[in-house]
Amino acid sequence: MGRNLYDGVRVVDLTNNFAGPMSSALLADYGAEVIHVEKPVTGDDNRFFSPMVDGVSVSHMSANRGKRSLVLDLKDPRSIESIKKLAAEADILIESYRPGVMDRLGLGYEAIKAVNPGVIYCSISAYGQTGPYANRPGYDVIAQAVSGAMYMTGDPNGPPTKIGSAIGDWVGALAAFGTIGTAMYHRAVTGKGQHIDISLARLLLWVFARFDFTFTGKPETRSGNYHTTLAPYGIFNGSHGDSIIIGALNQNLWTKLCGVMGCPEFAEDPRYNTNAKRCDNLKDVIQIIEGWLKRLDDIGEAERRLMEAGVPCAKVYSPEDAFQDPHFNTCGWITKIPAPAGVTSIDGRFFPSNPFTFSAVAPQYRPAPTLGQDNHSILERLGYSFEEVENMQKEWSEKAKK
């Protein structure tokens, strides 16, 4: 394979937890040299997220794959100077500290821009770098709460529901990856670097918020497993705890669905012969569909019949179902990330491949580093002797343990 997207690009990674580390992992997959700066002794918090294999976090294997690990104590001026030296020769700096922290450390955008005017500086936080809430701490679940995502998820008669995935972190990582590439293109055209502000709350506001109330005058409500203005469109349950998605949005599809269910008379029934009427009589529509499903031994049989008739549908997958799906595997949507050093029980972890395909390049998944494995090679390149690196690491480790 020839040149990858980010071959020759250097990234200084000052991130922690998940959104930031995953964004730089994506860059590493496409050839970037990512230097992940971690705390003495413990490193990135991600190193301790469960589950663990041979004492190594499976999450760390994924979010910090393909990187180099450099341990620095950011309370030490020598560490700040080292980061500035790295940033001076870097293309990208990514950080996920609470807004204001990097400025106090002397590593904010303006300070880094002074040593590297072309740097692409990406900040990832809960609420963004400006505004009344900028200094508030926040995680994915907080972004879900304040964006409306949580409020709009769940049963209409029940409480708000947390989304199963850390969706803010995942969307944040993808947004950082995409905007960094866009800023790189802008720099190639103009010669100018810039500061990118990624807010998890803002991203989820963009994905989930509905402001229809501003012109309808009606409060927004959860729709649960069904759609408020389309029917049938949602999750329908079988007899063994399994479920299927059915989307019969127009009269043609409704007619086909009625034929598959063995009740063609409902196609022209005045209670159900338009989408609006099916919405008005949604409880009856659900009862008709689920009554048919529960007469079958397997939800897979319903899926087969519906697909043969051309009715859009899909069995609701468990993660195990997704892992075994022939389409996902044939298309390369699932990969194995090599295990890092020290892990002997497994040779890697299965993980969803990067969610996009480039025709000219492909990701190269490499193992995550052990903590501080690149201390000497990086710091000695910056001018420190072997003994100085050893002494600094010992000093920082002792201080961190107190």
Active site residues: 169
State the Cα–Cα distance between residues 214 and 228, nearest whole angstrom: 17
Whole-angstrom distance, CA of residue 390 vs CA of residue 402: 19
CB 170 within 8 A of CB 163: no
**CA dist., res. 283 & res. 291, Å (int):** 12
* Sequence letter at residue 199: S
Are 201 and 127 a contacting pair, CB within 8 Å? yes
Cis peptide preceding 369, ω within 30 of 0? no
Measured distance CA(239)–CA(287) in Å, rounded? 13
Dihedral over alpha carbons 338, 341, 345, 346 (to 10 degrees): 0
For 57, the 3-state DSSP assignment is strand
- Cα-based angle 370, 174, 127 (whole degrees, multiple of 5): 95
* Cis peptide bond upstream of 232, omega within 30: yes
Mapping DSSP to helix (H, G, I), strand (E, B) and coil, where does residue 35 land? strand
CB neighbour list of residue 100: distance below 8 Å, 6 or more residues apart: 134, 135
Element (H, E) at 387: helix 386-401
Collect all residues with Cβ–Cβ distance below 8 Å to 284 and sequence separation of at least 6.
Answer: 271, 272
Q: What is the per-residue DSSP string for 146-206?
A: HHSTTTTSS-TTS-----SS-HHHHHHHHHHHHHHHHHHHHHHHH---EEEEEEHHHHHHH
Compute CA distances 39 → 46, 72, 137, 147, 401, whole Å: 12, 6, 19, 31, 12
